[in-house]
Every structure is written in C-alpha cells, then in structure tokens.
Amino acid sequence: MKTTEQSLDNSKSSSLRDALLLAAGLILLHMPAGLPAPLYPLYQDTMGIGPGIVSMLFASYIAGTIIGLVLMPTAVRSRYGLIWACLLSIIGDFLFILATGALGLFVAHILQGIVLGIFTGAVPAALAKLDLAQLGKAVGRITTSANAIGLAVSPLWSGLLLQFAPWPGELVWVIQIVATLIVAPFLRLPSHVNTPTDSVSVRGILATIRRGRSMPASFIVGFCAFSSGALLSALGALVLRDAVHTNNGALEGFVVSICFILSAIIGAVKWRSNDLGMVRIGLLWVALGCFGLAIGAYVGILLLIILSAIACGVGQGIGLQGATEVVALEFDENSRNKAISIFFISCYVGTALAALGVGSLINATGLPMGFGGFAFLLALLGTVGIALSRTQKPYLITR
C-alpha cells in the first residue's frame, strides 16, 4: 500500500516538475518576441531601416510563428523536439547580435517565430497529458499566462539593459543565449506525451466555426487583441521616440511591457461571467485603448499612450479568455484542442497581414499618421465586434 502511495506521490511530483519546467521554457522562448521592441530605434539609427521595415520585421516573426505551429506535430515526435527548438532559438539570438542590416534581422525574426510556434503548440499538448490533479490550480494559471509573462518581461528587461548596461543591443541577446543553454537540457518531453490521438477533421471544425453562434465577435476580439499587442511591440518604441521625443530605452520598454503585464495578470484571473460578456468587455477595453493610441500618436502625449497601453492589456486579458471559452464550448472533447489551435493560428495570420498593412501605410503617410490610423481602424473594428456580440445568445461560463 505504501509502495502504491509513494508511486502516486512520485508521479505527481514528476508531473509538477515537468509542468513548471515547460512553463519556464515557454516564458523564456516567448521573450525574443518582445526583446527587440526597445531596440528598434537603435536598429533604425545603426542600420538605416525605417518604421515600415520594422513593421514588416514583426510580420516576418508572426509568419515564422505560423510555420512553427504547422511544424509542431513533426517536431514533437521526438522527446528532444523542444531541445532542438532551443538550439534554433540560440542561432536566432546570434543573428540578432551579428546582423548588420535588414536581411539578418528578417532571418532572426523568422527563426525565433518558428521556435515560438513549436513551443506554443507543444507545451499545452504536453501539459494536457500530465497528471496535475490536486497539485494546485496555480500551475495551470501560470502555464496559461506563460506567453503573456514572457512578452511582459522582455521589453522592460531589454529597455533597462539598453539604457543602463554596456554593449547596447548585444548584452540582452548574450544573456538570452546563456539562459536558453541552461534551460534547454531540462525540456525533454515526458515519454507519455506523444501518444497517438484520434484523427479530427479540420474541415468539420472550420464548418462549425463558420456557423457558430458566437464566433464572429470572438474572432474579432482575437484579431484586435493580437494586432494591438503587435502594434505596440513593433512600433511603440519608435512612436515614443518620434512623436513624444523620448530618448530612454527603459521608459520605452516599460510602455510596451505594461500592456502585456496587464494582459498576463487579467488573463490569469478567474472571471465569473458569460462568454460573450467577457468578449464584449474585452472588445470595449481594446477599442478604447486603440482609440487612445491613435490620439496619443497624433498629439504626442506620453500619459495618454501609457493609459491606452494599459487599456489594451486589460482588454486582451479579458477578451482572449472569453473568446477561448466560446471556441471551447462549441466543440466536444475530441476536437476542442484542435479548434482552439485553429483559432489562434487565424489570429496570428490576421496579425501578420495587419503588420504588413500598417507597414505599407507608414511608408505612404509617415510613422505617427500610419500608427495612429491603424490603431483607429482597430478601434472601429472593436466597435463592430461589440455590436455583433450583442446580437448573439451567450453561453454561461461555469468554473
């Protein structure tokens, strides 16, 4: 009897350790998405790249993420798939250090995006197979918010190093390389994760998404949440430098980080509401935040931009939680995970197209006008989403 109890305790301890390591890996490998944000003004000065190119750099990162999500099933056939992904991330880190022009930065962004796509798809699948019963709800909340935590920490960390440390633009990548080398050996997937699963028809999932009662508003909040975050990550520091005339990497990193910090905190809180209620509230906050960003970019008011970034973060946390619940409730247990993956892939695709669009807009109109114009369009789209959500019948989310 004691042997059985000890075996169960050992299994739970092993699952807890694996879950925390996977969460730490997801946080660490999400950081390259935000680390360049305060560095873009430096790249602009040293490499001669314009804001339009910066926006397209972020689009290439999102494109890499989509590629990684597609490659994920192949990558995790081996227990060492995440370790190989870490090595690919290290190559991307070195490219950021060695890059002398836009081409090197494009390749680095694509590689880091591929790594993020693999981790984003593999980690939730691994966690779903672990025995986390009675180990505390905190583990699930931490892992759920791991991506937002990585995005929240990285711009602030990068900005502080840029402002106060030696080797501007390089030290942050050296530290990232060392941290990845330390964590990588512990990211071997548990042996029981890669078990075969029943085939689920993607065509059937897409058909359900098209006819779902609550889907339009959910996809709009997903698009607006991802796009507003991408707008701040790609161009926030440049707008502060150009419109507000800041020259402080730490401040610029903080403004970008505050959005993702709020998204991580709000997204980890359990909200007792119906699904469309959360989607509607999220859309309202994101729309207000984007409208504020548009005005802030035009008139150059730092406080307004900070408050708007906060509003976007709150909206992202609430809206994405509600939208994920909407998608989950439309599908049975066999197809739910794949449906949620399709939802997030569609958000990434939309964000990549948006980044390319805002890049073209900036080339035609200039940075403040292009940034503000795109933020205003997101605010209008959020308003449309609110109107659509009011015509749909909500589900009740019970937790």
**CATH number of the CATH domain containing 336:** 1.20.1250.20
Residues 16 and 164 in one domain: yes
Residues 381 and 303 in one domain: yes
Query: Three-state SS for 396?
Result: strand
pLDDT score at 129: 66
Residues 225 and 342 in one domain: yes
- Hey, what amino acid is at 243? A
| Residue tagged 């150009």 (tokens) | 242
Residues 186 and 206 in one domain: no
Residues 288 and 255 in one domain: yes
User: Given a cut of 70, is residue 1 above it in pLDDT?
Assistant: no
Pick the last residue of a domain from 193, 228, 248.
Answer: 193
Which residues, other chains included, contact 9 with Cβ-Cβ below 8 Å and sequence gap of 6+? Answer: none
Backbone angles phi, psi at 168, to 5 degrees: -60, 130
pLDDT score at 260: 87
Which residues, other chains included, contact 113 with Cβ-Cβ below 8 Å and sequence gap of 6+? Answer: 60, 61, 62, 63, 64, 65, 66, 67, 68
Residues 182 and 98 in one domain: yes
Residues of the chain with pLDDT > 70, as a percent, come to 79
Q: How many residues would you count in the chain?
A: 399
Angle between helices 137-144 and 102-129 (to 10 degrees): 160
Residues 127 and 251 in one domain: no
Q: Model confidence at 213, in pLDDT bands (50, 70, 90)?
A: low
Mean pLDDT for 258-280 is: 81
Backbone angles phi, psi at 134, to 5 degrees: 60, 20
**How many Cα atoms sit within 13 Å of 253 on the Cβ side?**
27
Distance CA(288)–CA(312), nearest Å, equals 8
Residue 233 corresponds to which tokens in the numbers above? 């990550």
Residue 121 corresponds to which tokens in the numbers above? 């798809």
pLDDT score at 350: 75
Mean pLDDT for 67-85 is: 84
- The more confidently predicted of residues 206 and 272 is 272
| Residue tagged 């035009």 (tokens) | 298
- The more confidently predicted of residues 98 and 332 is 98
Pick the last residue of a domain from 175, 193, 211.
Answer: 193
pLDDT score at 112: 94
Query: Three-state SS for 46?
Result: helix
Least confident interval from 181-185, 197-201, 214-218, 322-326: 197-201
Domain range for 217: 200-399
Q: Could you report the per-residue pLDDT of 116-165, keeping only the tens digit for each?
A: 888 877 877 676 666 555 444 444 455 556 777 888 889 999 999 999 98
Angle between helices 102-129 and 81-98 (to 10 degrees): 160
Residue 67 corresponds to which tokens in the numbers above? 């590629």
- Cβ-defined contacts of 298-307 (< 8 Å, 24+): 298/243, 298/368, 298/369, 298/372, 300/243, 300/244, 300/245, 300/368, 301/244, 302/240, 302/244, 302/246, 305/236, 305/239, 305/240, 305/244, 305/255, 306/255, 306/258
User: Given a cut of 60, is residue 373 above it in pLDDT?
Assistant: yes
Q: Which one of 14-23, 75-84, 114-123, 172-181 scores highest in mean pLDDT?
A: 172-181
Mean pLDDT for 258-283 is: 83
Residues 160 and 250 in one domain: no
Residue 265 corresponds to which tokens in the numbers above? 């905190």
Least confident interval from 31-35, 297-301, 365-369: 365-369
- The more confidently predicted of residues 348 and 132 is 348
Residues 126 and 206 in one domain: no
Among residues 242, 375, 240, which one has the least CA distance to residue 302? 240
User: Given a cut of 90, is residue 393 above it in pLDDT?
Assistant: no
pLDDT score at 136: 43
Residues of the chain with pLDDT > 90, as a percent, come to 31
User: Given a cut of 80, is residue 384 above it in pLDDT?
Assistant: yes
Backbone angles phi, psi at 49, to 5 degrees: -90, 145
Residue 128 corresponds to which tokens in the numbers above? 């779903």
Residues 228 and 375 sit within 8 Å (Cβ to Cβ): yes
User: Given a cut of 90, is residue 207 above it in pLDDT?
Assistant: no
pLDDT score at 217: 83
Q: In a 10 Å sphere around its CB, with 0-12 CB exposed, 13-18 middle and 19+ buried, how is residue 42 labelled?
A: middle
- Hey, what amino acid is at 30? H
How many domains is the chain built from? 2
pLDDT score at 196: 43
pLDDT score at 307: 96
Q: Could you report the per-residue pLDDT of 9-19, keeping only the tens digit for each?
A: 555 566 677 77
Residues 302 and 371 in one domain: yes
What counts of helices (H) and strands (E) characterise the chain? 15, 0
Tell me what the pLDDT averaged over the chain comes to. Answer: 81
Pick the last residue of a domain from 133, 167, 193.
Answer: 193
pLDDT score at 40: 92
Residues 135 and 17 in one domain: yes
Q: What letter does residue 392 receive in the DSSP assignment?
A: S
Residues 285 and 373 in one domain: yes
